[in-house]
Amino acid sequence: MGKTKVINNNKKSLGFLLRLLTLLAIVCSAAAIYEIYLLSGVENTIRYIVIGLIAFTTLCIITHTHTINKKIKAKKNNRSRKSFTTFIVIYTIILAFVAGVINYVYGTLDSFNKKEILYTSDLIVMSNNPAKDVGDITDMKIGMLSDKNSPDGYKIPKIIIKENDLDKDNDIKEYDDYTSMIVDLYSGEMDALLITDNYVSLFNSIDGYKDIQDKTKVIISKSKKYKKTETDNVSASGKSVKEPFTLLLMGIDSPAEKLEKNAVANGDTLIVVTFNPKTLNATMLSIPRDSYVPIDGWGGDRNKITHAAAYGNDCMIKTIEGFLDTKIDYYAKVNFKGLVKLVDAVGGVEVDVEKQLCTDNSDRRGRICINPGKQVLDGEHALVYARNRKQLADGDFGRGRHQQEIIMALMDKIKDINDVSQFTKIINTVSNNMDTNLSTKQMLSFYGLAKNIMSSSMSSDKANIINIQRLYLAGNGQMIYDTRMKMVLYNYVLNTESVDDVIEAMHENLEIEDHEDIKSFSFSINKPYEKKVIGEGPYTSGYEKVESQEPVQKTTATVPDFTGDTKSQAQAYANSHGMSVTFIGSGNIVIRQSISAGTSLDKVKGSITLTLGENKVNNTTTTQTQTETVPKEEPKQPENPQEPTENQNN
């Protein structure tokens, strides 16, 4: 009797265990089905078959469990119970593993698009200011941004003001832009600023502000996470990747290990890629950081494109869309620090280094050099190759060319990877060091494209899988007075026909314009074939097409230095260049002018007032509000028009 009771209890326990295992199988199958369903666009037919098989198998398990439990209750022996239990355990483990792997991959891809960003604002003063902590900030003029949508320019500064009662004993002034704030801090018009923590990156490449980190000090900082603002959260286009699309790559030179904080794409790396998935043709354009273009939101004013960075992704993207007449579908911000780890993760990249190059390491602390020759570079040495420009004959353009070479070398290495652990390391590195406006669903839609490229690589020469056409923006280096910075700065004035050639090439690849096939060409077997770089010309003097009969803009028209000229000389020059001048004062020599020399004429509204005197001055131009010392003659252009004369960081 006791033995029978024990057997019955064991059967009940087995029945309970079987029901529990079945429940776990149902949960894991539901999780697996959900995760597989999320992989939209990835092998849809296979996906739906797998989902169907999981659902059918789970239903069979439920039915069979019910049958076995009936037999247990009926006290019937069931020899298949043990093997069935083993099957459920193995099935559940497999489904849990599948669901976990897909969840990990999907979550990692989802983290590429940072939903929230850590913004930081600083309260800064000049280094010689005696203030040591926030309690010393009294009876001061404090500047901050007026844009209420800016987290680190307005929202966090308002919190700092409230928490420290800064509005009680200080005068708070709001500005439209960071540039005017910094200029007023340096001139003494402002005693302190509440400004983005990125202010050093924004200004240390400008001559006169390259030592801004040493010239200023931070009194207090505050960080707060916000959802991406409209200026940062630029919506990706709804375009399918089966159609031609554009991608903007923006480089971030952040010393941080991860791209979690709000980081400024300061224009050192701006690469516009167009890709046609039908033809596997791509164009790649590196935009020089000093390109003189209309900045979006500045009322048509032209300036260095790098200055658009301070006003968010939206400003940068719309500025590029404006002068290239091309819609940017997607963007990706990439941290240079992450480039080091990514190159190491793929096992290094092979490049042909033309000369010895040296620059600081990824931490901006040590010096690293690479020697000439074809070689495999690790992460740190690849960063030297991608970052250096001062030692290159073509300066900023050489750096852009090197960056493109690194990108292409990375693509070649990544497509050949078949090791799961190595692939995992790569996506983790990218996840930590990239921010994009691509949704996870859009990223998954690239699977089909990647599959086509992979299959092509197995059946043809890998060098011919993707045809990449390099594009180039020709132009002229020119010193132009920056009305916001109140100083003369180097700018790269783009050649209008070069821009037109670049736009045409991009539009043809995007199928916006029809492509005209080249029906004939000449070559010599004694001379290696060199692929034409669209946008280089030929242009006379490097700026105008040989065959063109129309005038081409070589430089932008600017206000000359009238000081020292006679009244008749100034009037004659103004008449011949379509300027309006007004003379005040007595005498015959221009001693002062209302608009600074070097100011672009498109920023001059109305007449230029010239003050006359009896004595000739020594190359000093005085405006109505300030004094600027500028060369009397037109500033000499650098021999290499791409390379600025002002000191800038690598």
- CA geometry: angle at 595 spanning 588 and 584, to 5°? 35
CB atoms within 10 A of CB 34: 13
Q: What long-range pairs does 42-46 form, CB within 8 A, spacing at least 24?
A: 42/444, 42/447, 43/447
- Polymer length of the chain: 650
Collapse the DSSP code of 88 into the 3-class scheme (helix H, G, I; strand E, B; otherwise coil) and give the result. helix
**Nearest partner of 571 among 602, 605, 610, judged by Cα:** 610
pTM for the whole structure: 0.78
Concatenated DSSP letters of 536-590: S--EETTTEESS--S----S--B----TT-BHHHHHHHHHHTT--EEEESSSSEE
- Token representation of residue 528: 């290696």
**Nearest partner of 595 among 579, 610, 575, judged by Cα:** 610
Name the residue type at position 609.
T
- Tens digit of pLDDT for each residue in 46-97? 889 999 999 999 999 888 887 877 766 665 555 667 788 888 999 999 999 9
Q: How far is residue 164's CA from residue 192's CA, in Å, rounded to a whole number?
A: 14
Does 166 have pLDDT greater than 80? yes
- Tens digit of pLDDT for each residue in 109-158? 888 887 777 888 999 999 999 999 999 999 999 999 998 888 888 999 99
Concatenated DSSP letters of 332-384: EEEEHHHHHHHHHHTT-EEEEE-S-EEEE-TTSSSEEEE-SEEEEE-HHHHHH
Cα 626 to its chain centre, rounded Å, is 36
Q: Using the structure block, give the residue that is written with the tokens 């960081």.
A: 649
| Residue 400, phi then psi, degrees to nearest 5 | -60, -40
Residue 154 and residue 144 in contact, taking contact as beta carbons nearer than 8 Å: yes
Does 595 have pLDDT greater than 60? yes
Q: What's the mean pLDDT in 38-53?
A: 88
Q: What's the mean pLDDT in 395-414?
A: 80
Does 233 have pLDDT greater than 70? no
- Tens digit of pLDDT for each residue in 374-398? 999 888 888 888 878 777 767 777 7
Please, which residues have CB within 8 angstroms of residue 273's CB and are 6 or more apart in sequence? Answer: 246, 247, 248, 249, 282, 283, 284, 285
